[in-house]
Chains A and B, each alone.
Chain A
Amino acid sequence: MATKHKWKAWLYLLPALAFLAFFLVYPLFDVVIYSFEEGYNFVTQTRYGIGLYNYSYVLHDPYFLNAIKNTFIMVIITVPISTGLSLLISLGLSHIKTLRNMYQTIYFLPYVTNTLAVGLVFMILFKPTEYSDGLMNMLIHMFGGETIDFINGPYAAKMFVMCTYIIWIVMPFKILILTSALASVPEQFYDAARIDGASSFMMFRKITLPVISPSLFYLIITGFIGAFKEYSDAVALFGVNLNSAGMNTIVGYVYDMLYGDSGGYPSYASAAAIILFFIILVITLINLGISRKKVHY
């Protein structure tokens, strides 16, 4: 066909490529450069030299170390619980027919809500009012417990609220993926197993789990990545100043360095973002390594 069409193809691509180049490719290189520029001044755009000082500063910053600790705790608690619970719920859903659509619709609701808005509701559930200790404390009292200050109180209480909210908000996606994975298990497999007299547990281990293992591992990998990038949910619960609440996350630290009361240090922000990127990379590679051994494709 005529050659004049060839340059026209690039015309169709031009808008997308221009956006990608300007807002994705260029920033990627730029952030690496930033992270090595020492003493970069945002206003005068000058620097003292090139080196690893930014990384060393960030790695010695108690706020960053605290953010790393918080993020790892959130990851370790929320990823297994949310994935396990989602699997249980999806298995339950696959065993019923009546009302199944209704349940699925309700389970998906948190996905389409604004996390800042619903986070506020969670805060209200845990927060004391003028004359009462709040709804959650009322429940604790009912079971004979002591009042706990969830919002300004001990670290464990704050972490509990945080993880509860994260689990609540990430489950819709996992339930959706696992439900469609379970629906793809061929019914004949189960029939054959039943004839052989296999127990439910045996069928789950030998048929269901291998078939859904790719989806399960996909969820675990994306779950880890998502949890390491936790930020908005923490802001929703504890406000913009996460450092003073002691609940900052790695991504929160990056944004605080860039902007806000302690901001104006794009070099530190870049170094922290690159450290985060490598943490995620290593965790993902470990996950992939394990999945290669365990997943049946």
Chain B
Amino acid sequence: MNENIDLRKIKKDSVKRELIKKILIYTFLSIWCIIILFPFYWMILTSLKGYAEYNSEYIPKFISLEPTLDNYVTAFTLVSLGRYFLNTLIFTVVTTSLMMVVTTLAAFAFSRLDFKGKNLVFTLVLALMMIPNELVVITNYTTMVNLHLRNTFTGLILPSVTSVFYIYLLKENFEQIPESLYLAAKVDGKSDFEYLVRVMIPIAKPTMVSILILKVIECWNAYVWPRLVTDNPNYYLVSNGIQEIRENGFGRENIPAMMAAVVSISIPLIILFLIFRKQIMTGVSRSGTKG
């Protein structure tokens, strides 16, 4: 009888301990959630406060009593935010498409075709992954200046196209496709290119989508190269645009309008992320480097 009570007590204690542990974990994780989300909340909140409302606050307020969309109008009319968006869109679409074509062709050659020196070339290409961007940017900048390609889309796009890592990632993926499919296609009289388009690309689609989205994110957030190669606001991307707004503002320091611009350029990527959450997170955990 006594033993029974003891057992029940022990069990109760351990359930209790388990519960306390859970509460502690959830509290800790939730605090970190707030730290992550708060800047987003603050930027949306500030973007909805009127200029006068924001500047007359003696104590920063956590809600807005008279939310207004005026700041968004200011952000898109007083500076050419629309133009920066369009430039970024063109830059992102062209760079990403070029990258996909170049990467797919190279990955195909490395994974499926047979030619002399393949392993040597592949090793050399892999070795290029170790070169930090900071080292090559200097020459690329002077090249673009000498070719008079500053303030052009060509100058913006070309050096941003290649990514050794994506060639490697796609090659690994292509290699998992059974060789028998290739031989079958050969028997059917299909050319290499037809095989690539009809068979390999559809099979490797999930990886290709991951690569595509990661490149889009990279392009949307590009800052260093666009800053070097453009000094004409007509060619600014959103990052340079936001920097320009930060330095020169809207004629006066208008923080709510600044935040409206920040919200506008953050939303496209956040939507993209919420749609392709799985592909992005698996892609990143395999890729390893940011930008």
Given A16-B167, A266-B138, A258–B228 Cβ distance below 8 Å?
A: yes
Q: Which of B46, B60, B140, B269 contacts A23 (CB 8 A)?
A: B140
Q: Which residue of A lies closest to B128 (CB)?
A: A24
The answer to whether A89 and B221 touch (CB under 8 A), given A26-B139, A131-B57, A273-B134, is: no
Verify B32–A27 contact, CB threshold 8 A.
Answer: no
CB pair B272–A15 under 8 Å, yes or no, is no
- A-B CB pair tally, cutoff 8 Å: 252
Q: State in angstroms the CA–CA spacing of A229 and B243 once bound together.
A: 20
**In whole angstroms, how far apart are the Cα atoms of A105 and B142 in the complex?**
41
- Is B131 among interface residues, defined by CB-CB distance under 8 A? yes
B281 near A108: Cβ-Cβ < 8 Å: yes
| B2 at the binding interface (Cβ < 8 Å) | no
Chain B interface category by residue count: 35 or more
Q: Which residues of A contact B143 (CB under 8 A)?
A: 27
Whether a CB of chain B sits under 8 angstroms from the CB of A203 is no
Q: Does A269 sit within 8 A of B, measured CB to CB? A: yes
Residue of B nearest to A33 (CB): B139
Chain B residue with the shortest CB-CB distance to A98: B26
From B3-11, B68-76, B204-212, B283-291, give the one contacting chain A: B283-291
Q: Does A57 contact B (CB under 8 A)?
A: no
State A20–B139 Cα separation when bound (angstroms): 13
Residues of chain A contacted by B281 (CB below 8 angstroms): 104, 108, 176
Number of interface residues of A (CB under 8 A): 86
Chain B nearest CB: distance from A207 CB in Å? 18
A244 shortest CB reach to chain B, Å: 13
Does B153 sit within 8 A of A, measured CB to CB? no
Residue B224 at the chain A interface, CB threshold 8 Å: yes
**Contact assessment for A23 and B158 in the assembled complex, using a CB-CB cutoff below 8 Å:** yes
Q: Chain A residue with minimal CB distance to B54?
A: A129
The residue among B132, B141, B242, B261 with the most chain A CB atoms within 10 A of its own CB is B132
User: Residue A188 at the B interface, CB < 8 A?
Assistant: no
A-B contact pairs, 14 of them (CB 8 A): A15-B101, A24-B131, A25-B128, A28-B135, A103-B29, A112-B280, A113-B266, A114-B266, A118-B266, A121-B42, A129-B255, A135-B42, A269-B138, A277-B134
The 3 closest A-B pairs by CB, nearest first: A27-B139, A16-B106, A27-B136
